[in-house]
Structures are given as structure tokens and as C-alpha cells.
Amino acid sequence: MQYIPGFGNECASEDPRCPGALPEGQNNPQVCPYNLYAEQLSGSAFTCPRSTNKRSWLYRILPSVCHKPFESIDQGHVTHNWDEVDPDPNQLRWKPFEIPKASQKKVDFVSGLHTLCGAGDIRSNNGLAIHIFLCNTSMGNRCFYNSDGDFLIVPQKGKLLIYTEFGKMLVQPNEICVIQRGMRFSIDVFEENRGYILEVYGVHFELPDLGPIGANGLANPRDFLIPVAWYEDRQVPGGYTVINKYQGKLFAAKQNVSPFNVVAWHGNYTPYKYNLENFMVINSVAFDHADPSIFTVLTAKSVRPGVAVADFVIFPPRWGVADKTFRPPYYHRNCMSEFMGLIKGHYEAKQGEFLPGGGSLHSSMTPHGPDADCFEKASKAKLAPERIADGTMAFMFESSLSMAVTKWGLKSSSCLDENYYKCWEPLKSHFTPESRKPAGPN
Ligand SMILES: [Fe+2]
């Protein structure tokens, strides 16, 4: 696999089988080299400021318009109906979402999409959805594109070989990829697969501003990887199916050729992937905590300064060195909604039932924090420099929107952990009104 490094750059790529496939000096010649069709894919309004203007030019064997009409298909568990069930402000935790066995039912990436929670409105391009994908079969002669928003895909189990109009990407657990609005892709899998998807409507992910951190740190732009042009000139006599999510509903159209027929492309609107191991972690080196925003990999900004539609935040392996500090995450209540998932290992603040492939949701102003066991241990621990989170990778999708949980999330997934609240029940008062002296480590 070859990739072009960098985030959001203006790139150009030609399949080496057709050197010179990109037109010279213009985008739309009367006849393109190799007699290809020129097609623009716009990811922003034509008139956006340069810093946010996104588009790519694709040079392809046939334009994407060569398809039969779209028809509505079974929605499966994809929804944008945020009123399916009554709101639930409780702390919610899910056991690992169950992957269907290939021997019982073949499920590909699209038919294995399950909407867990979300908020906002697709038609006005404001909101987000969190989906869980559970699949065991490659998509074959099916591709998918999303008219509603961008997908940030977090594989948790099994690698994904993703064919896109821009080329191929191999994305393994502990890597993520972003496939932006309108881009067609098809996923091959090699085992039973599970993962998480953060979908944002009408905005794109950006690297967070670094402020006083400076020019380097957190996710560095050079570590993002963009595929290189690759095409197949493949006729599909039985019909190739293009699946589209449009205004929250699924539609399918047939065409006679593979959609991965782009011989060359240039532009700044592309899919990309990122290895979470490359995240440069910044943390407190004196006392107290930095807020978890210090772990932001990508952000999808809202129109309000500093307020994200959604942030993608990770809790990577690192050193904990803060003196005189309760080192696990602090207890808190947050105006934002926090969905957490676990790719591998265990999460530092919850030793028990928060497992890889599961999740938790702490909604707006719902209190949460370390479980009782974690509190007792961390309050008494001798503070020496220590490794935190080795062999693990927990992450958070954090949103300024107040999310609704779907019927699948609360009921039909059968994964909701009814006992979650009990992890805080053993917390007891240590109040000593007669003495100001903290108990401290033994
Ligand atoms: Fe939190």
C-alpha cells in the first residue's frame, strides 16, 4: 500500500499504468488524456474561503452519473429518528456489541451499520450520529456513499481493506480513517469485524488549533495518509450496486461497471487514515490534570467559536507524573455529551465491565467519574512516575449536541448493562469534620 503523507494538502496522483493522465495546466480539457472523463467532487460550497474550500478533480473511465435510478432499500438498523424512544439521562454502558457469525448470516459493512445515538438535523446540515458496525463479509460488488456527512471510522476488531475512488487504504485496529461526504467506497473484511463510526453532518474534520502548544504536537499533519490513484476497468455483467445514504435513508442503484475507475485525481478533498500510535501526547508534568481536550485528534467545528459538533479524543499510553494529584480522570458533569469506546486493553478509570467493543454514554450534565475501586486505590497510591494505559486505547466522541439513544441502542442490541450505576454505589464518605488533614497515601 502506498500513501501520500499530509493533512488537507493539495495533492495529485496518477495510477502508474497511465502516466500523464492528469491534464496539464487546466482541469477540464476538451478531451482528457487517455480519453477519460473529468468530474469534480465538491466538499464545500464553491464560494467558501480558501482555507476551508474543498474539492477534487477525478479523471475516470466513465462518469459516476452512469447508473440506473436509485430505489429505496431496507434501512436495517440505520436511523436518524431521534424520537424512537423516550430520552434517558442515565449513565449508559454497553457490553461488547455482538458480531453476527458468518456461518449464520452474511453481513457486510453497510448491512451491518447500527445507529446507536445522535442528534441534530440532516437536512439543515447540523448534527451527528454514532454508529456501530458489525460485519463478517466483504461488500463485493457493492459500494456506499454518504450524502449526509463524513464518516470517521474506528475499527476495533479486524482490519478493513477499503477501496475508494481515490485508491486503496488498509485500516487496522488502532488506526482510524475518514471518508468524507460523497466519496464512494467498498470494504473487504477478512474475519468478523466490529468498530465505531462518528458521522458529522455538513462539516468536515480538522486538526484542532494548538494555541500556546505551538506549531507541533498532538496529531501531526504529516502522519495522515492519503491513498494513491488506483483504477480497475471492470465490467460487472450482473450489475454493480451503489448504495447511498441520503437524508438518513438508504437507496440503491445498479450500474454496469466498478465505480473504482478513477485513473488520476488531484485536489484537497480526499479520504485519509491515521495511526493513533503517532499521537504526540501532552500531559501535566507538575500537578493536576489538563482537561481531556488536550487529547483531541480531530475536531468538527460548529459555527460557535471553540464549540465542536464533535471531537475525536483518545487516551493513549503515556507517563503519569503529576505530583500531589488524584491521577485518574476527575469526577465531573459536562454540558457536552461523551460517548466512549475501547479499541483494546482496559480503561484506566474503570477496571471492570467497560470492555473492548463496548461503549458508554454520559449525556449532558450526567455525573460520572472513576468507579469506587479506582477512587480508593488512586487516593492511596504512592505517587511515582508510572506508565498509564499501556496496551490500551480508549477514545471519546464528544459532542456539544444532546444526543438521543436509538431503540437499537437501548433495547434491541441487548447489550445495555443494567448494572452500570452500581460501580459508584460503594463510594463512601471520607469526611472528617474534626480534622482538615487529608488521609493521603499510607
Ligand atoms: Fe467525562
Give residue 14's Cα distance to chain centre.
28
Residue range 243-275, pLDDT digits in tens: 999 999 999 999 999 999 999 999 999 999 999
- The answer on whether 347 is annotated among ligand-binding residues is yes
> Both 107 and 157 in a single domain?
yes
Instruction: Confirm whether 358 is domain-assigned.
Output: yes
Q: How many CB atoms lie within 10 A of CB 352?
A: 16
> Both 18 and 128 in a single domain?
yes
- Domain of 217, in residue numbers: 3-274
Mean pLDDT across the chain, nearest whole number? 96
Side chain identity, residue 152: L
> Both 269 and 281 in a single domain?
no
Question: How far is residue 270 from each of residues 12, 73, 165, 266, measured CA to CA in Å?
Answer: 11, 28, 9, 9
Check residue 347 and give its pLDDT: 78
Domain boundary among 251, 274, 297: 274
**DSSP codes of every residue in 84-124:** SS----S-EEEPPPPPPPTTT----TTTTEEEEEEEEETTT
Check residue 142 and give its pLDDT: 98
Q: How confident is the model at residue 14 (pLDDT cuts 50, 70, 90)?
A: very high
Residues in the chain: 442
Question: How far is residue 370 from each of residues 140, 330, 416, measured CA to CA in Å?
Answer: 44, 7, 19
| DSSP-based three-state secondary structure for 301 | strand
Q: How many CB atoms lie within 10 A of CB 217?
A: 13
> Both 169 and 97 in a single domain?
yes
- The answer on whether 34 is annotated among ligand-binding residues is no
Q: Are 51 and 10 in contact (CB under 8 A)?
A: no
- The answer on whether 332 is annotated among ligand-binding residues is yes
What residues act catalytically? 289
Q: Are 264 and 22 in contact (CB under 8 A)?
A: yes
> What is the percent of the chain where pLDDT is above 90?
96
The domain that holds 103 is classified in CATH as: 2.60.120.10
Total structural domains within the chain: 2
**Distance between Cα 131 and ligand 1 center (Å):** 20
Distance CA 37, CA 60 (A): 5
Nearest alpha-carbon partner for 397 in 319, 322, 325, 343? 343
> Both 246 and 318 in a single domain?
no
Instruction: Confirm whether 303 is domain-assigned.
Output: yes
- The answer on whether 368 is annotated among ligand-binding residues is yes
Residue range 189-202, pLDDT digits in tens: 999 999 999 999 99
Distance CA 211, CA 132 (A): 33
Check residue 137 and give its pLDDT: 98
**Distance between Cα 338 and ligand 1 center (Å):** 6
> Both 98 and 10 in a single domain?
yes
Check residue 442 and give its pLDDT: 56
| DSSP-based three-state secondary structure for 321 | coil
For the residues 300-322, what does the mean pLDDT come to? 97
Strand partners, 397: 312, 339
> Both 191 and 70 in a single domain?
yes
pLDDT at 351 over 80: no
Q: Which residue has the higher pLDDT, 375 or 353?
A: 375
> Both 307 and 239 in a single domain?
no
For the residues 197-225, what does the mean pLDDT come to? 97
Burial class (CB in 10 A: 0-12, 13-18, 19+), 317: middle
Domain boundary among 205, 239, 274: 274
pLDDT at 355 over 60: yes
Q: Which helix (H) or strand (E) holds 289?
A: none
> What is the percent of the chain where pLDDT is above 70?
99
> Both 180 and 193 in a single domain?
yes
**Distance between Cα 91 and ligand 1 center (Å):** 11
Instruction: Confirm whether 163 is domain-assigned.
Output: yes
Check residue 6 and give its pLDDT: 98
Strand partners, 161: 170, 188
Q: Which residue has the cell 485500516?
A: 171
Instruction: Confirm whether 430 is domain-assigned.
Output: no
192 contact partners, CB below 8 Å, separation of at least 6: 99, 100, 101, 102, 135, 136, 157, 158
Rounded to the nearest 5 degrees, what angle is found at the Cα of 200, between the Cα atoms of 198 and 206? 90
Instruction: Confirm whether 310 is domain-assigned.
Output: yes
Instruction: Confirm whether 218 is domain-assigned.
Output: yes
**Distance between Cα 369 and ligand 1 center (Å):** 7
> Both 7 and 40 in a single domain?
yes
> Both 78 and 41 in a single domain?
yes
Distance CA 52, CA 300 (A): 12
Residue 98 backbone phi and psi in degrees, to 5: -80, 135
Rounded to the nearest 5 degrees, what angle is found at the Cα of 368, between the Cα atoms of 364 and 369? 140
> Both 168 and 242 in a single domain?
yes
pLDDT at 366 over 70: yes
Instruction: Confirm whether 432 is domain-assigned.
Output: no
For the residues 278-282, what does the mean pLDDT come to? 98
Helices (runs of H) and strands (runs of E) counted in the chain: 2, 28
Distance CA 162, CA 171 (A): 8
24 contact partners, CB below 8 Å, separation of at least 6: none
Instruction: Confirm whether 442 is domain-assigned.
Output: no
pLDDT at 348 over 80: no
For the residues 38-51, what does the mean pLDDT come to? 97
**Distance between Cα 70 and ligand 1 center (Å):** 42
Q: How many CB atoms lie within 10 A of CB 252?
A: 18
Q: How confident is the model at residue 349 (pLDDT cuts 50, 70, 90)?
A: low
Nearest alpha-carbon partner for 312 in 393, 242, 258? 393
Rounded to the nearest 5 degrees, what angle is found at the Cα of 116, between the Cα atoms of 165 and 145? 15
Q: How confident is the model at residue 384 (pLDDT cuts 50, 70, 90)?
A: very high
Side chain identity, residue 403: M
Strand partners, 142: 241
Q: How confident is the model at residue 353 (pLDDT cuts 50, 70, 90)?
A: confident
Q: How confident is the model at residue 439 (pLDDT cuts 50, 70, 90)?
A: confident
